[in-house]
Amino acid sequence: MNLKNILYKINYKVIRGTDDLEIREIQYDSRKVKNGDLFICIEGYKTDGHKYIDSACKNGAAAIICSRNIEKLPDCNIIKVDDTRKVMSLAASNYYGNPSSKMKIIGITGTNGKTTSTFMIKSILEAAGYKVGLVGTIANYIGNKKLHSDRTTPESLDLQKLFKDMADSGVDYCVMETSSHSLYLNRIYGVKFSQAIFTNLTRDHLDFHKTFENYYNAKLILFKNTLNSIINMDDEYGEKIYKDAGGNKLTYAIEKSADIKADNLNMHSRGVEFDVTYKNETQHINLNIPGKYNVMNALGSIGACVNEGIDIKIVKQGLENLLAVPGRCEIVTHGYNLDYEIIVDYAHTPDGLKNILNTVREFKKGRLIAVFGCGGDRDNTKRPIMGKIGTDLSDFAIITSDNPRTEEPMSIIHEIVSGIQKKNYEVIENRREAIKAAMKMAQKDDIVVIAGKGHEDYQILKDKTIHFDEREVVAEIVKELESER
């Protein structure tokens, strides 16, 4: 494609050479550049693409897009713009034929609930007969085809390629998690959303955003760029989003007054039943995923779908069709001859841990045993908070390692323990041994909650990443404990 067409409706200045040339592909990683490619200098969290201009030119880049002054211009076509991140999103859309305009986009943002909500909406839309794409933490999907996901929301160039693949496959709707990082870093810049859902806002990612105000403002970006906002009014930031958001607004709640209301909740170990009322019509829904917070996720999903004109009876069918979401309050003891349950959950924030433990407390008959830790190289202020929550809400807790990355595991654990006021815990650094200890401890009617990793099938250590799937670990330990009897 001609560079002029790639830069359609983008303000830019030619610093050297010409903009009238053919481009093979767009790249933001200089190591991937080949002859005829366009290299865009992206300022990342840890590095800056401007440092790799010479490398890109040596690899055959036909043109460079930059936002900084370059002291020594390389022998290459140089284009300057104000913001390379915004430009990459728009240029990638132009390059791939503006694929997001060929489907409706539904975005979900919030600290917790994004993943579950995307799966719920996908199930509802499929029940209504649509082909659905999904972008998220666990995986990306084109219909039933599962694709690997490296991050919650891909970099804009990769996202636009994914949109193109979806459009080429006849996808009607794309449901996507929109992380605060992606919003702040303009990965979705220029994408028009049909619906945007606000789930909640609690402490997370302050290692990146620095202040809670910055975190909130990053989330708010989604609601400045949408036709319709679906807002959780039970969350303390719901009213603020409602005030600050643009476009049409639809609210949902259990406790407060809202357009979509849930009542008569009946929670049990394998799910939750509730009545939902919208425009004077009430439906009884039997959700296969436990927890009050999953009722909230369902209400937000309902809001987006009724806004798209889907009948509430079809909405009910779609929600009840969804049997589980990987790593989200996932019961992993089906098929085992155990008299206790094990639940794996992605909860890695104070609010997420509080939600899963409170959910289990609502239906537990025996003891609640929690296994959890905190990730390394992430916001360390939440560690003592999670220590207190984990021990306050469980009968017994095992503090362990969770993706320590470059930090020492015991250093992280000591910070977690610093917030604990009770004595109902022990420390077992090795995560597998911690899970085994919890299972050996469990008795009839107990519930073991393994929190923090959920769907992840790896453990990130200081010098390597190892395979670690907690479903597989549980299966292995079941066999070990049987042989030890």
390 is in an annotated binding site: no
476 labelled ligand-binding: no
Q: How confident is the model at residue 203 (pLDDT cuts 50, 70, 90)?
A: low
Closest CA to 354 of 324, 382, 315, 378: 382
Quick one: pLDDT at residue 209?
47
**Cα separation of 345 and 15, whole Å?**
52
Average pLDDT over residues 273-282: 96
Residue 402 assigned as binding residue: yes
Residue 465 in marked binding region = no
350: left (phi over 0), alpha (psi -120 to 50) or beta: alpha
Least confident segment among 179-188, 205-214, 273-282, 421-430? 205-214
What are the extents of the domains in the chain? Answer: 3-95, 99-321, 330-484
Q: 113: annotated binding-site residue?
A: yes
Which CATH superfamily does the domain covering 330-484 fall into?
Mur ligase, C-terminal domain (3.90.190.20)
Q: Are 360 and 447 in contact (CB under 8 A)?
A: yes
Averaged pLDDT for residues 174-190: 91
* SS3 of residue 476 by DSSP: helix
pLDDT of residue 208 exceeding 60, the answer is: no
Q: Terminus-to-terminus CA distance in the chain, angstroms?
A: 68
Structure-block tokens of residue 37? 């490619």
The CA-CA-CA angle for residues 246, 110, 380, to 5°, reads: 135
Annotated binding residue 429: no
Q: Three-state DSSP class for 282?
A: strand
The one-letter amino acid code at 296 reads M
- CATH topology for 99-321 is UDP-N-acetylmuramoyl-L-alanine:D-glutamate ligase (3.40.1190)
30 is in an annotated binding site: yes
For residue range 220-255, list pLDDT tens digits in order: 999 987 889 999 999 999 999 999 998 999 999 999
Q: Tell whether the model's pLDDT for residue 180 goes beyond 90.
A: no
92: part of which helix (H) or strand (E)?
helix 84-95
Mean pLDDT across the stretch 377-401? 96
DSSP 3-state of 139: coil
- SS3 for 292? helix
Its pTM stands at 0.88
Which of 98 and 351 is assigned the larger pLDDT? Answer: 98
The amino acid that residue 440 corresponds to is K
Which residues pair with residue 174 across a beta bridge? 105, 133
> pLDDT for 464-474, tens place per residue?
999 999 999 99
Here the tokens at position 163 are 């949109």
Q: In Å, how far are 28, 164, 315, 341, 419 from 8, measured between CA atoms?
A: 19, 18, 40, 57, 54
110 labelled ligand-binding: yes
Residue 204 has a pLDDT of 53
Model confidence at 17: pLDDT above 60 = yes
Rounded Cα–Cα distance for residues 117 and 109 (Å):
10
What is the pLDDT confidence band of residue 207, given thresholds at 50, 70 and 90? low
Q: What is the pLDDT of residue 46?
A: 75
Summarised one tens digit per residue, pLDDT across range 426-445 is 999 999 999 999 999 999 99
Residue 483 labelled as part of a binding site: no
Residue 308 and residue 82: Cα distance in Å, rounded? 36
154 is an annotated ligand-binding site residue:
no
For domain 3-95, the CATH superfamily is: MurE/MurF, N-terminal domain (3.40.1390.10)
Any idea which of 175-189, 358-372, 407-421 has the lowest mean pLDDT? 175-189
Percent of all residues in the chain with a pLDDT value above 90, rounded to a whole number: 84
Report the percent of the chain where pLDDT is more than 70: 98
Contact present, 235 and 299 (Cβ < 8 Å): no
Indicate whether 151 pLDDT > 90: no
Tell whether 394 is in a known binding site.
no
* pLDDT of amino acid 88: 98
Q: 152 a known binding residue?
A: yes
Question: What torsion, rounded to 10 degrees, do the Cα atoms 183, 185, 191, 192 define?
Answer: 30
Q: Say if residue 153 carries a ligand binding annotation.
A: yes
- Ligand-binding site membership of 111 (annotated): yes
Q: What is the pLDDT of residues 112-144, one digit of tens each?
A: 899 999 999 999 999 999 999 999 999 999 999
* Residues 66 and 136 sit within 8 Å (Cβ to Cβ): no
Q: Does residue 378 have a known ligand-binding role?
A: yes
